[in-house]
Structure 1
Amino acid sequence: MMTSSTSEKPLVELTKGVNGLEKVILREVRGSSAEVYLYGGQVTSWKNDLREELLFVSSKAIFKPPKAIRGGIPICFPQFANRGPLESHGFARNRFWSIDKDPPPFPASTSSRAFVDLILKPFEFRLRVALSPAGDLMLTSRIRNTSTDGKPFAFTFAYHTYFSVSDISEVRVEGLETLDYLENKERFTEQGDAITFESEVDKIYLSTPTKIAILDHEKKRTFVIRKDGLPDAVVWNPWDKRAKAIADFGDEEYKHMLCVEAAAVEKPITLKPGEEWRGRQELSAVPSSYCSGQLDPKRVLLGS
């Protein structure tokens, strides 16, 4: 981890969070920040340079093991949902991670100095969380099969990102139209020109593009998800009935959150001994523009 001698606060700070759980705070000089709990290796806050919170964490979230933290960016590994023999969404989100003191080199694809490297053992699962000078949030996962028994290792994966939105009924998702998706294990094709929300949604979109946009009409804000190594995308909002059935989720909180998750779900990733997989997502939040009474995402999706 690195600190800055020019700013008042360090770029990277290890401190205590809720219930005394350790967390790392990342800061950039323009004012953006992120918080990462060692419990779950979980990002629980991402703020822009106006100090506006961009992620959703439930007011009823339980920051106490073994319960996973409801909100932020839980990591689903080595199993997404109930697609396997393990507990739902696997165990990475309710294990304690360590700060990786000696990580192997990461590709120098960012000028960020505000980052932390975590590792989950006994697996060799390395996670880098970085904040760019512009305030973009980057998560890079590297998973290596270190087994000595010669057996391959298969897993599914998702960055279960909870975005904070003004009003779910005013939100649309662009970039997944015309794609096939799985819902209740059945396969369908998306018909709409964008995804909008008026009831519970729980879909796994397949063979998705590397860029997806979430347009928040009321806040005039667009989230852009860029992803690599993660072919699928999960879209989830529990709506009212399901929200009431979730103990660590407020009855009305579904109105102010949306999960759009970079994932590898349909086809498990299989690593032979010694092989490494890398999955990355980069999140940015940009002002939306109006065009003919509609938000204009095309510029965002076609842009850099």
Structure 2
Amino acid sequence: MNSIPSLDIRRFDSDRDTFVQELGSAFQEIGFCSVSGHGISRNLIQEAYKAVEQFFALPLESKLRYQLKGKAGARGYTPFEIETAKGHKYADLKEFYHVGREIPRDSKYAEIMPANLWPEEISEFREKIYALYESLDHLGNRILSGLALFLDLPGDFFENKVDSGNSLLRLLHYPAIVQDNVPNMRAAAHEDINLITLLVGAEEEGLEVLAKDQTWVPVSTNQDEIVVNMADMLQRLTNNVYISTSHRVVNPTGDKARKSRYSMPFFLQPNPDMCLDPLDCCITEENPCHYSGTLTSFEFLMQRLRDIKMV
């Protein structure tokens, strides 16, 4: 594998059958693709990045005002070197900020989906970041529709399963690395927890995907593409028909190591009470069920948060 497939999502309307086949095949074979033609304006993305950079430039004591204690980083700020990839000894070289879905505070999900925290120091933070959240949520739902069709499910199969999903927009800052030969990595090898991830900012160097031959393949895109990858919840739900692929963000060398890196992954998650038992259509004689026991998406999430030392 030299690169990941690039797909124009406008073909979902103009050439649906072919697009669905290419999308499903990408997630069967590689677990990654890049998407163009998504309609999210470059201006919105740039304005969101500006707000992100302004937040992470704040003094630490200001950022810590937005750390929500006891909530496993569900919303707000998580400081540097806290999250540790499953199975790894050293914490990742990153700090981040989580923005989630705005739901009524009398919702049945309110206890496990906290209200967002909005930095008072940055005037346009809420407007720009939540506009990007909603745009990525819409794009993610279109991609899920294509993935459902590939499995011969109705195109709206996921609609009522993600409409109150605990999806997160993660605003990521990898600070400059000022010491050579550190054992930590910006993001050690891992698979994502959720259904699918949409990554804004993959034109920056550093992201690598583990190919089937166990080699690491650098991923870079042009600035108008969004990288989409399969995650563990959907791998489980589809009984490994779709594969969740390991990926990492490696440390740069030389002068590039002395510069910050920013990215914005959107982790699309189902409603907290969605059952993740493998779908009947994905269990066959050739592909028997690989999972036992029943798990909701919230139970799965909490298991994984313990694995990465967020709980």
More helix by share: 2
Per the normalisation by structure 1, the TM-score is 0.28
Per the normalisation by structure 2, the TM-score is 0.27
More strand by share: 1
Greater RCO between the two (CA within 8 Å, min separation 6)?
A: 2
